[in-house]
A = this chain, B = another copy of it.
Amino acid sequence: MTAKQLLQQHKLKRTSCREGMLELFLASKEALSENELREQLSGSYDRTTFYRSFITLLDAGIIHKIVVDNILTKYALTTPMTREHQHVHFFCTHCETTKCIQTDVEITIQLPEGFHQDSMDILIKGSCNHCKQ
């Protein structure tokens, strides 16, 4: 799957900003922040454009957003694996690497009477393989 195909598949205009962002997402094993994208695209685009592109790609479901406390916002491709209801993210508290974790176990939490669950976000914080102590 290429950036071009992803955009066409979702009937989105193929602009260089969107295509550049998607290429970076496709090449990365980890979630990326706005700043990381900006650096790698050599600051070619305005911040406003990034924000609007994020919204477009989020709405299309091509990427999803990962927010860690209020510290950090990252984005990652939505793959079949991450499209699931149940979605686990790992955040390294040392290097801030953030990634989607595959899980086969079905997690169920008993809610109080009258509460209804739509989705569940799970964030695990710790040290990644490069930062292990």
A interface with B by C-beta (< 8 Å): 65, 67, 69-70, 73, 88, 90, 93, 101, 103, 105, 107-129, 132-133
CB of B111 within 8 A of CB of A90, answer yes
CB of B126 within 8 A of CB of A116, answer yes
* Residues of chain B lying within 8 A (CB to CB) of residue A112: 101, 129
How far, in angstroms, from A121 to B68 measured CA to CA in the complex?
10
Given B116, B122, B129, which contacts A120 in the complex, CB threshold below 8 Å? B122
Copies per complex of this chain: 2
Interchain nearest-CB distance for A66 vs B (Å):
9
* Residues of chain B lying within 8 A (CB to CB) of residue A126: 111, 115-119
CB of B115 within 8 A of CB of A129, answer yes
Given B103, B122, B128, which contacts A110 in the complex, CB threshold below 8 Å? B103
How far, in angstroms, from A113 to B115 measured CA to CA in the complex?
36
Given B69, B115, B124, B125, which contacts A128 in the complex, CB threshold below 8 Å? B115
How far, in angstroms, from A14 to B73 measured CA to CA in the complex?
36
Closest 10 CB pairs of A and B: A114-B129, A117-B126, A118-B126, A121-B123, A116-B127, A116-B126, A119-B125, A120-B124, A67-B69, A122-B122
A116-B126, A122-B122 are known contacts; what are 16 more A-B pairs with Cβ within 8 Å?
Answer: A90-B115, A93-B118, A101-B109, A103-B110, A107-B107, A109-B122, A111-B124, A113-B129, A114-B129, A114-B132, A115-B128, A116-B133, A120-B124, A120-B125, A121-B124, A123-B123
